[in-house]
């Protein structure tokens, strides 16, 4: 599970991208899940980070989804036309 921080703006995005890419490369699982539940303060930069994670995951042969995307961020993703690239993670049974 890739855990996003509580704040993600343009200032934090590059470091977060590097950290998440490293986590993806070191995780042997075939499915990457980004946990967005902690996000409180964010701008559209988080979409770029999530899309970068998705790109990295797919390059590693993994599937990608996002858990608990805040409603405002889902709205941003829809506005930018990328919501279908950030599918919600399946809920555990």
Task: Provide DSSP, 10-33.
Answer: TTTHHHHHHHHHHHHHH---SEEE
Q: What are the structure tokens assigned to 23, written together?
A: 């986590």
Quick one: pLDDT at residue 31? 95
What's the whole-model pTM score? 0.92
φ, ψ of residue 17 to 5 degrees: the values are: -60, -45
Label residue 20 by pLDDT band (50, 70, 90): very high
CATH, domain range 2-85: 3.30.750.24
Tokens 């995951």, located at residue:
57
pLDDT single digits (tens) 36-78? 999 999 999 999 999 999 999 999 999 999 999 999 999 999 9
Label residue 92 by pLDDT band (50, 70, 90): low
Quick one: pLDDT at residue 90? 81
């Amino acid at each position: 599970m890739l855990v996003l921080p509580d704040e993600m703006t343009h200032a934090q995005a590059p470091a977060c991208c590097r950290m998440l890419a490293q986590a993806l490369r070191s995780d042997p699982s075939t499915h990457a899940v980004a946990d967005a539940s902690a996000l409180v303060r964010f701008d559209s930069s988080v979409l770029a980070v999530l899309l970068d994670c998705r790109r990295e995951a797919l390059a590693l042969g993994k599937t990608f989804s996002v858990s608990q995307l805040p409603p405002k961020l889902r709205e941003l993703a829809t506005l930018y036309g990328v919501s279908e690239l950030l599918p919600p993670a399946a809920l555990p049974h």
